[in-house]
Structure 1
């Protein structure tokens, strides 16, 4: 049913829960997994990083590579066919473009489940992918991640 599954990751507990679900689905369907993290260094990127803009971008990209590598290791341990990459730009747009360009059959994402004013003010990558994509999206939420908030 699914030949290619996209697993976006940002290193959060929610993304980890989605990765677990996505890897199980991939193993069940003998699918290839594409693990992607988007290094968003735009004006709303990770503003907590010290230093100049170039070193901040480098640090953001380094974090994204670590997130991808962690999921790649889990996929390889589960004997799942996997590839990984780091993209640059607005996550909601980069993920949809990557999914279309790579004939993805399913996107498995995590979400914080925030709604109301917070989502309207900050936006939601998962919400955008669901609304504007034409690929099925499986949204995973971890009870342990929710409890930590």
Structure 2
């Protein structure tokens, strides 16, 4: 039994990656760990200003993104564990992969971050010896 880490941001690209990760987890009888990172470079700790309200929104969105993947796998024989964290996305994804000893990291090709997940995916791929699956936005026929 292995472990798969899915990085999500709630985008359609991330949903495509989630479907692939759920299938992979089922095929490998693996636990699926889902993480959504609130990018600390864009969002800081909340208080009451408009920027801080945006942080609260980002945190809520992160929770919903993780919950969506858990719901997608609800009728499948896959154990799913979810988490949200603050930090720099590629750094947090790599930390989490180490923590859960992920066999494979799954990321969508693009995302809703100001910086596309393709940049995050590249840095994750460059920063690990683990298998990294970048799920294409538009799969080739």
TM range (shorter): 0.7 to 0.9
Paired residues of 1:11 and 1:67 also in contact (CA < 8 A): yes
Deviation at 1:31, TM superposition (A): 0.3
Q: Compared with structure 1, are the counterparts of its residues 134 and 22 closer, same or farther at alpha carbon in structure 2 (3 Å cutoff)?
A: same
CA separation in 2, counterparts of 1:80 and 1:100?
Answer: 21
Equivalent position SS for 1:28? helix
In structure 2, the partner of 1:10 is 9
Alignment of 1:41-80 (within 5 A): 41-42=40-41, 44=42, 51-80=49-78
In structure 1, the partner of 2:106 is 108
CA separation in 1, counterparts of 2:118 and 2:6?
Answer: 20
In structure 2, the partner of 1:30 is 29
Consecutive aligned runs of 4 or more in structure 1 exceeding 3 Å deviation: none
Deviations 1:1-48 (A, max 9, x none): x60000110111111111111110111111000011001142x45xxx
Alignment of 1:131-142 (within 5 A): 131-142=126-137
CA separation in 1, counterparts of 2:131 and 2:90?
Answer: 15
Higher helix share: 1
TM-score by length of 2: 0.84
Number of equivalences:
133
CA separation in 1, counterparts of 2:95 and 2:40?
Answer: 18
User: Unpaired runs of 5+ in structure 2?
Assistant: 44-48
CA separation in 2, counterparts of 1:79 and 1:58?
Answer: 33
Deviation at 1:123, TM superposition (A): 7.7
CA separation in 2, counterparts of 1:123 and 1:28?
Answer: 26
User: Unpaired runs of 5+ in structure 1?
Assistant: 46-50, 113-117, 145-149
Equivalent position SS for 2:73? helix
In structure 1, the partner of 2:92 is 94
* Root mean square deviation, CA, Å: 2.6
